[in-house]
Chain A
Amino acid sequence: MAAVAVSVAGLLTLSACGGGDKQESGGGQAAKKVEVFSWWTGPGEADGLKAMREIFAKQNANFEFFDAAVAGGSGDQARALLSSKLQANQPPDTFQGHAGAELQGYIKSGKLESVNFLYDELKLKEVFPQQLIDQISVQGQIYSVPVNIHRSNVLWFNPTVLKDAGIDGAPKTVEEFVTDLEKVKKTGKIPLSIGSQWTLVHLLESVLLGSLGTDAYNALWTANADWSNANVTKALENFKTILSYAGSPQDDWQPAAKQVADGEAAFNIMGDWAYGYFHNPPEGGLGKESHKDFDWAASPGTDGTFMWLSDSFTLPKGAPNRDGAIAWLKVAASKEGQDAFNPLKGSIPARKDADQSLYKDYLSWSLEQWSGSKLAGSIQHGVVANDAWRTAITDAVGLFQQDKDVAKFQQALVTAAKNSGQ
């Protein structure tokens, strides 16, 4: 209770003094540290973070940015460490998290402060798409500031391999996709490349979306969702069929994507971070030319829908330097901050008013899709299902990969939905 009182009091002082907090906390002392916790250490993302950090330094002479990044792809290790820190009530000033259901555990245990005040102050509800706001709100409260948007439902393909197999253009529907996979199989190439277990969950979300349609897919994540109906069965049958065309599993998504770039495989379904890997010059990427060495389209049956995921920053309760954290969130939410970060990270800004000229090639396509599409949230990347639910789905997919039993798979998904506590 005391914690709530303190944070409410903090909230009041903040809204009362508005922009005046600078003089207050500055006070001629040495710059106070702002600990920003993220898992952005790889090429591209670390550069983006640095660009935002420079803007932050320019705007906040009284705060010093402290980079508490923990290495590791999708943030697995970072989240394990973060969870221990929060349990011990020693939060960083602000931390990165996937926007959406992944934060639910923290919200329920009262580790996060609502940032509605910031949305009101900066009028963020007007610059973020309404559907995005709806999908990240928990009972009217928003707990994070999305910095970027990635797209999950992208079908990457090798135009040459497709041509050799007699396929003109990317498949539009799941049925077409299966036909095309069969055509590729006859040429002796790998029809669909896959990576480790999580890339199958990633594939599953695209297949579910493409088979069920956007509204039915989104309904799966609402209360009393029906996972046991015949449409879901059909979608899982599709998943099974598509999987039967998969090559041998690679160690992670990069080697799977590389099979497409090298012309060994025809298709790969992966998030749009694959673009940077395909396109960037060697060292960080493969240095391939878009539309020639590799190409992309919406994953089959999902054209017109943007399956999104987003990195966002939060305001933990009891942050040692709350003002510093808010100053960071303001940079992360700003047009300037997002336009500095995203072209380097290879993602698009969550804001609708971004400077379009900064986003080239794939990113300009993605930006265009973002403004004109329906939205659906990713499973694997923490948007629609909380951690427990996502883990249960991942387990079910892992077991399915071995026994290929659709009925059992569906039953596991039904149970997962029921036990999710979401």
Chain B
Amino acid sequence: MTRVRRWLPGLLLVSPSIILIAVFVYGLLGWNFKLAMTDKHDEIAEIPGNFVGLENFTGIWSEERWGLSVRHSIIFTVVFVVGALVLGWLLAFLMEKDIRAESGFRAVYLFPMAVSFIATGVVWRWLMNSATGERAVGLNRLFHYLGVDFLQWQWFRDPDWGMAAMAIPAIWQMSGYIMALFLAGFRGVPEELREAARVDGCSEWGVYRHVVLPMLRPVTLSALIILGHISLKVFDLVVAVSGKQIITDVPATFMWTAVYDSHDPAKGATIASYIVLSVVVFVVPYLIWDARKGKRS
């Protein structure tokens, strides 16, 4: 009786969220995978959809648009994750030097976080206008005024590296947040350790290289996971900047087209499954690592 009294209230407390998550996250995830494995290529209710195994998952690779959107997604992810990590780290590094008005700077760099991707996209669509030369506006115009016309380019309309341009607003928005993470990480390194290193004759760079950076590894990993899953699911930013155009197609916009324009639920579910799987690939190693670490300590 007393044992029940110990765990029952706790269970009752969390059970609503367990049930809701079970139904609305895992239940619907399962439903989505089930749909992706059927041939329900029309949303008419009378077509039940027969089980076809992994046919949709393999078939989609023969579509040119899919290959393109995966390529775009990879370019975007690499540029965005690396860009935000490096910039965020750099900002934190500068901030850590006990500069004056630090909290003011911190707020300034964090503010973009408060803006939605849609608003960011609308502004950057204008900044990254592809017109060059006489007709340039936005950043291209700025380059013109600064006399660096050779920097003008097509931004997100560049057929090869357009998605790298698309990552710029995302970096702008998220690097402040990464900075905050890293700053917390820097502050978490005990001052005694640094002093010990210095006493042992370590240069300032060496202190960072051998003492601080290794201790930042968990923070870096968290930042990587956070950025990675945002990046693989990106939809709002792309739609706000360029709409549903092939030139900036990513899996999420392709999914929207498949569901709402082509009326092909199975294809939409297939793409959704791939997005989930790609995020899982990112997150699961982290969870395993985390669990192992928990055991060790």
Contacts and interface: CB of A to CB of B under 8 A. Distances in A.
B157 A249 contact: yes
Given A105-B43, A401-B246, A391 B131 contact: no
B165 to A, nearest CB: 14
A249 B130 contact: yes
Contacts of B245: 196-197, 398
A80 B260 contact: yes
A390 B262 CA distance: 8
A197 B246 contact: yes
Do most interface residues of chain A lie in helix, strand or loop, or is the interface mixed? helix
A285 B242 CA distance: 23
Contacts of A392: 262
A222 to B, nearest CB: 21
Counting contact residues on chain B (CB < 8 A from A), the size range is 20 to 34
Contacts of B159: 402
Contacts of A76: 260
Contacts of A394: 261
A109 B45 contact: yes
Contacts of A108: 42, 44
Interface in B222-277: 242-247, 249, 257, 260-264
Nearest to A86: B43
Q: Size class of A's contact patch?
A: 20 to 34
Contacts of B260: 76, 79-80, 83
B40 interface: no
Nearest to A388: B262
Interface in A244-292: 248-249, 251-252, 264
Contacts of A399: 64-65, 68, 246
Contacts of B130: 248-249
Contact of A421 (B42, B125, B154, B244): B42
B258 to A, nearest CB: 8
Chain B contact residues: helix, strand, loop or mixed: loop
Nearest to B242: A196
A87 interface: yes
B295 interface: no
B19 to A, nearest CB: 23
Contacts of A391: 257, 261-262
B135 interface: yes
B56 interface: no
B46 interface: yes
A248 B154 contact: yes
A173 B157 CA distance: 31
Contacts of A93: none
A323 interface: no
Interface string A172-201: 000000000000000000000000110000
B247 A402 contact: yes
Nearest to B264: A388
A109 B43 contact: yes
Contacts of A390: 261
Interface string A94-116: 00000000000100111000000
Contacts of B44: 105, 108-109
Interface string B38-66: 00001111100000000000000000110
Contacts of B261: 387-388, 390-391, 394
A108 B135 CA distance: 48
A112 to B, nearest CB: 12
Contacts of B154: 248
A351 B283 CA distance: 61
Interface string B20-51: 00000000000000000000001111100000
Contacts of A105: 42-44, 263
B220 interface: no
B140 to A, nearest CB: 10
Nearest to A200: B245
B246 A395 contact: yes
A401 B68 CA distance: 14
Nearest to A109: B44
A246 to B, nearest CB: 12
B246 A387 contact: no
B163 to A, nearest CB: 13
Contacts of B64: 399
A248 B262 contact: no
Interface in A282-338: none
B263 to A, nearest CB: 5
Nearest to B44: A109
Nearest to A390: B261
B173 to A, nearest CB: 20
Interface string A389-413: 0111011001101100000000000
A248 B65 contact: no
Nearest to B246: A398
Nearest to B135: A264
A240 B243 CA distance: 23
A248 B247 contact: no
Contacts of A252: 243
Q: Lowest 6 CB-CB distances: which A-B pairs, in order?
A: A398-B246, A109-B44, A391-B261, A197-B245, A80-B260, A391-B262
9 contacts: A83-B43, A196-B242, A249-B157, A388-B261, A388-B262, A390-B261, A398-B65, A398-B247, A402-B246
Interface of A: 76, 79-80, 83, 87, 105, 108-110, 196-197, 248-249, 251-252, 264, 387-388, 390-392, 394-395, 398-399, 401-402, 421
Given A80-B260, A391-B261, 17 more contacts: A79-B260, A105-B263, A108-B44, A196-B243, A197-B246, A248-B157, A249-B130, A264-B135, A387-B261, A388-B263, A391-B257, A391-B262, A394-B261, A395-B257, A399-B65, A399-B68, A399-B246
